[in-house]
Structure 1
Amino acid sequence: MTTTQSFQALFQPLPPDDPAARLILFGFRQMGARGLDDACVAHSFMTAFGKDFRRPLVLLRTLMMELSSATTGPIQIAPWCCARLTPAEAGILSVLQTCLTNERAAGLLLADLLGTRDAAGPLATATALAIAFADLGLPLGG
């Protein structure tokens, strides 16, 4: 892969003022590289949410499993330390930020990202994850 291709793949900077998006992105990248039971992700969620960390952690693990089983192709993720987003990561963050306000648009975006006609299962989990973050004081996009 050339430098130009690398830059095109990592086109969008990380959201600077959205700690929820950064936490989800860290968990997404770390679990994608190390597996669903990664201790670093659990520790990060425990640090962010305290004793209530299990609900968002289990929902992120479930979302990762559903995305991997529903997709028709690979979902490109960057290393956890990368300061830019892949198009797939940007799409997933967009789904999580949109699913509470415009479920139809989030569903279409997620179906397009996964390459399927119906993404109702992963969309329901994404919505539950966004709700869990908001309930615990760390809403996405704010």
Structure 2
Amino acid sequence: MTQLPAAATTITVLPHALPECPSARVLLFAMRRMGANGLSDARAAHAMFTMFGEAFRRPLTLMRGLMADMAAHAAAAISIAPCCCARMTASEQVLLAILARVEIRPDSARLLMQDLLGQRHVDGVLASAAAVATAFADEGRPVVL
């Protein structure tokens, strides 16, 4: 059996570059921290506080709700990379794409969510994603990919 070079393995497991959008980067960081350390992760909360100032509670609470909804409704594991990774997994990229388009292209976001979760009925989780996207947009920090 031949072994792939480390670079080929990294590109296979982490096929997407980090997003340019600062809001998407904070979402990715919070998602990774909460996925690894639980919904009450202090560094995820600090990242939200740093981005939103005193208005951090709404986006943070809604992000926690989205993460809990996804964990409860996913039929298969959703791959999340460690915080130090300079690239994204396919699942992370899909979630950011959902958050970027849930308000403007909801049918597309629904299909992506169905693929991500492996479920046909994703209305509740999609509503959570829309709430997160709206919270970011309301504070002047829309997710753009």
**TM exceeds 0.5?**
yes
Do residues 59 (structure 1) and 44 (structure 2) align? no
Give the structure 1 partner of residue 117 of structure 2: 114
Which of 131, 134, 141 is equivalent to 1:131?
A: 134
Cα distance in 1, alignment partners of residues 10 and 116 from structure 2: 19
Q: Distance in 2 between matches of 1:127 and 1:77?
A: 21
SS in 2 for 1:43: helix
Amino acid at match of 1:101: I
Report the residue type matching 2:120 in the other structure: R
5+ residue gaps in structure 1? Answer: none
Q: By how many angstroms is 1:6 displaced?
A: 3.3
Hey, what's the Cα distance between the residues in 2 that align with 1:9 and 1:95? 20
Amino acid at match of 1:65: A
Residue segments in structure 2 that go unaligned for 5+ positions in a row:
none
The residue that corresponds to 1:7 in the other structure is 11
Q: How many residues align?
A: 141
TM-score by length of 2: 0.93
Instruction: Specify the structure having the higher radius of gyration (Cα).
Output: 2
Q: Output the amino acid matched with 1:35.
A: G
**Aligned equivalents of 2:100, 2:84: Cα separation in 1:** 22
Whole-angstrom CA distance in 1 between matches of 2:118 and 2:9: 22
In structure 1, what is the Cα distance between the partners aligned to 2:84 and 2:74? 25
Post-superposition CA distance 1:41-86 (Å, at most 9, x none): 1111111101110000001000000000110110000011211110
Runs of 4+ in 1 over 4 A off after TM superposition: none
1:94 and 2:97 are equivalent in the alignment: yes
Aligned amino acid, residue 9 of structure 1:
V
Match of 1:82 in 2: 85
Once residues 84 and 140 of structure 2 are traced to their aligned partners in structure 1, the CA distance between those partners, rounded to angstroms, is 25
Q: Which of 105, 126, 144 is the equivalent residue of 1:141?
A: 144
Cα offset, 1:9, TM superposition: 1.5
TM-score normalised per structure 1:
0.95
